[in-house]
Amino acid sequence: MNFLKRRFPIIIVLLTGVLIMIAYYVPHTPFSDFWDGASKWYQIIAGFTMVLGVVSLVRNHYRKIREGKQGFGYSIAMFVIMMATVAFGVLPTEISPIFGNRSGSVFMWIFEYINTAASATVYSLLAFYIASASYRAFRVRSLDATIMLVTALVVMVGRVPYGEIFSNYLTDHIGKGLAFLRLDNLTSFLLNYPTVATRRAITLGLGLATVSTSLRIILGIEKTYMGGDN
């Protein structure tokens, strides 16, 4: 039992990891097809696990309705919409054009006018959250926060037409020697050098961490993701 639960998964991970590594260096058959094959296997297995997801969803919402928990009305709405979507989507188009998943069907109507619209609404909330997060970030509490505030102001103003008007006034009316203070130039500098340098440093660290973590998993050093202690 312990073998099946602990050792066997590690052996599978080790074999798969080593095979994928070989396939990375050997473009010859059978290794060249291995990656595609493994991806298809995963898709098939993941397709079957969707049943687990639906079971979990139904169980979770059914419990809410049965126990009359706060917001159980939403669970009823979820059941009604889920059943309706499945019913309209699964029934063949031959019965009626409103069935199936072609253009003009109820299934597509639900997708386009309920699902897409609702997703867009949630996404648009991001604008307001960015405003509140920016307010919190730009409060001048320390030297770091002050530097960030000034930098953010330069970049924000430098990206809008007012920034260009201000920069033109600076160089045309005050002095050409102040060209280095043009907001478009400063914005480009900030975005192309300090930002890129920082992002690259993070990316390089991430690359090394990916290799190191993959090695830990493939070699069975890291097995917490299978439950239990290492």
Partner 1 sequence: MIHRKRLYIVLVFFLFLAISAALYGQTSGTLTIPTNFQVIDTPSDSGDSLLVIFDKMPGESKDKSYIIYRSSSQDGAFTETARFESDKEYGSDNAQWFGFKKENSNFHAYKVSPIWQMKDVKIRSLGGKVETSQKRVKPLLSYYKIGVMEGIHTLAGTTALSGIPRENWFRKDRLNSMFILIFLFGIVFFFIAQAQRNPNMFLRKIPGIDAVDEAVGRATEMGKPILYSTGYYDISELSTICSVSILAHVAKKVAQYDSRLIVPCKWPVAMTVCQEVVREAYINAGRPDAFNPGDIFFIAGEQFSYTIGVDSIMVREKPAANFFMGTFAAEALILAETGAATGAIQIAGTDSNYQIPFFIVACDYCLISEELYAASAYLGRNPQLIGSLKAQDMGKMILFLALLLGTILLTLAVFFPDVKFFDVGIFNLIKNFFTVR
- Residues lying near partner 1 in the complex (CB under 8 A) are found at 21, 24-29, 32, 42, 45-46, 49-54, 56-57, 59-60, 63, 70-71, 74, 115, 118-119, 122-123, 125-126, 129-130, 132-134, 136-137, 199, 202-206, 208-217, 221-222, 224-230
Q: How far is the CB of 158 from partner 1 (least distance, A)?
A: 18
Considering the complex, state which of residue 27 and residue 177 has its C-beta at the smaller distance from partner 1. Answer: 27
CB of 194 to partner 1, least distance (A): 14
Question: Which of left, alpha, beta for 214 (phi over 0: left; psi -120 to 50: alpha)?
Answer: alpha
Burial of residue 164 (CB within 10 Å: 0-12, 13-18, 19+) is: middle
* Whether 189 contacts 158, CB under 8 Å: no
Distances (CA, A) of 39 to 15, 34, 114, 129, 230: 16, 9, 32, 37, 28
Pick between residue 106 and residue 217 the one whose CB is nearest to partner 1.
Answer: 217
For residues 25 and 180, which CB has a smaller minimum distance to partner 1 in the complex?
Answer: 25
Rank residues 68 and 71 by Cβ distance to partner 1 and give the closer one: 71
State the minimum distance, in angstroms, from the CB of residue 184 to partner 1: 23
Q: How far is the CB of 211 from partner 1 (least distance, A)?
A: 6
Give yes or no for a contact between 230 and 10, defined as CB atoms under 8 angstroms apart.
no
Token pair of 1, please?
A: 């039992």
